Amino acid sequence: MEGNGPSDLDERYYAPLTVVVSPEDDGKAVRNVLERRLGVSRKLLSQVKLTEHGLTVNEKRVYTTAPVSAGDIIRLRMEREESDDILPQPIPIEIVYEDDDLLIVNKPAGMIVHPTHGHYTGTLANGVVHHWKERGEKVRFRPIHRLDEETSGLVAIAKTGYVHQQLSEQLQAGAVTKLYLAYVYGIPEPRSGTVNEPIDRDKEQPHLRVVTPDGYPSVTHYEAVHVYEGDSDLRAACVRLKLETGRTHQIRVHMKHIGCPLIGDKMYGPGELGNEAWESAAGRQALHAETLGFVHPIKKEQMEWRAPLPPELRSLEQLLKGGADAAKV
């Protein structure tokens, strides 16, 4: 049939998700098989079934409730989408990993992940959309998580609705490894532990977050990996953190709560009591998303990526080492 050739399908749809019906699924509805085998959500199925080739059994269009037989081939095809509301810009982006389904980038500090009111250009999204356009790829920008503007490090971006759904579920289930490095004032006591304190907006300053009894559950695990103890009254530490929840400003709020605010943090730092040289070296909050890991939704393999410290945090580290006796904990 004209217009239904492989090249036309490739141009209109992403690569299909394919399932061969097993004997144990004989007689079940298509949607039940896809939910069990691929974890496809009802919402995604409801979108896919509206297109001509979105949901087929043996290349024939079917309803989600259609029964299937052992040996049948189910194909789920998602239409290609673009972020038409995001302006492509030739902004340099550091790509750590990319395949047909996923993009991992190392975001620099000072860059917003997604356009917001008043910040329509210069974002990570603008650079990524331009990158895809240059490659001739028709893809919609779907970040799995975000980092604060002044936080550097790894960000995962899904290239299809299915991958976004799968990774979002892994994130909600706590199956995504996210490790951060932070340089903080003071030395945490104990040197490793968990901050389990609820967080919510500050009622007097809504743009800030605070620990409050009626806030949302928030859990941060930390470990001081280096401590810097010099002759001055000021001490510092390099802390590795793992998030169990993902509240806005969670690390910054929790570290301040235990008396170890981040160096360079203008919102939650020590203010005038901070060290001017340390603040200047960092130039921003000293927080870096160092490690990211999860099961690849398509490859079904556990994958992990690491991003080295950016130059400004390496400079801060050298300054701390030079002004204090650094000890690995």
CB-based burial label for 271 (10 Å; 0-12, 13-18, 19+): exposed
Instruction: Please give the pLDDT value at position 11.
Output: 80
Using DSSP, state whether 71 is helix, strand or coil. Answer: coil
The answer to whether the beta carbons of residues 129 and 117 sit under 8 Å apart is: no
Q: Where in the chain is the domain with CATH 3.10.290.10?
A: 6-76
At 325, which helix (H) or strand (E)? strand 325-328
Q: Whats the size of the chain, residue-wise?
A: 329
At 107, which helix (H) or strand (E)? strand 102-107
Q: Where in the chain is the domain with CATH 3.30.2350.10?
A: 94-172, 177-328
Rounded Cα gap, residues 74 and 17, in angstroms: 8
Instruction: Please give the pLDDT value at position 328.
Output: 53
The CA–CA distances, whole Å, from 311 to 26, 127, 152, 234, 286 equal: 58, 21, 11, 23, 12
Rounded Cα gap, residues 41 and 48, in angstroms: 11
Closest CA to 289 of 150, 159, 187: 150
At 278, which helix (H) or strand (E)? helix 276-282
Superfamily of domain 177-328: Pseudouridine synthase (3.30.2350.10)
Long-range contacts, 123-127 (Cβ 8 Å, 24+): 124/91, 124/93, 124/155, 125/83, 125/86, 126/86, 126/87, 126/88, 126/89, 126/91, 127/89, 127/90, 127/91, 127/92, 127/93
The answer to whether the beta carbons of residues 112 and 123 sit under 8 Å apart is: yes
Instruction: Please give the pLDDT value at position 201.
Output: 95
Which fold does the domain 94-172 belong to in CATH?
Pseudouridine synthase (3.30.2350)
The answer to whether the beta carbons of residues 238 and 317 sit under 8 Å apart is: yes
Rounded Cα gap, residues 240 and 321, in angstroms: 17
Give the residue numbers annotated as catalytic, written as ranges: 148
Q: How many Cβ atoms sit within 10 Å of the Cβ of residue 55?
A: 25
The answer to whether the beta carbons of residues 228 and 321 sit under 8 Å apart is: yes
The answer to whether the beta carbons of residues 57 and 74 sit under 8 Å apart is: yes
Residue 148 structure tokens:
């604060």
Q: Domain spanning 6-76: which CATH class is it, in words?
A: alpha beta
Rounded Cα gap, residues 113 and 110, in angstroms: 10
DSSP letter assigned to residue 108: P
Instruction: Please give the pLDDT value at position 325.
Output: 52
The answer to whether the beta carbons of residues 15 and 100 sit under 8 Å apart is: yes
Q: Backbone phi, then psi, for 130, in 5-degree steps?
A: -65, -40
Q: Is the peptide bond before 190 cis (omega within 30 degrees of 0)?
A: yes
Rounded Cα gap, residues 76 and 56, in angstroms: 7
pLDDT in tens, the chain (329 residues): 344 555 678 788 888 999 999 999 999 999 999 999 999 988 899 888 888 889 999 999 999 999 999 999 999 998 888 888 999 999 999 999 999 999 999 999 999 999 988 889 999 999 999 999 999 999 999 999 999 999 999 999 999 999 999 999 999 898 999 999 999 999 999 999 999 999 999 999 999 999 999 999 999 999 999 999 866 677 999 999 999 888 999 999 999 999 999 999 999 999 888 999 999 999 999 999 999 999 999 999 999 999 999 999 999 999 999 865 554 55
The answer to whether the beta carbons of residues 128 and 93 sit under 8 Å apart is: yes
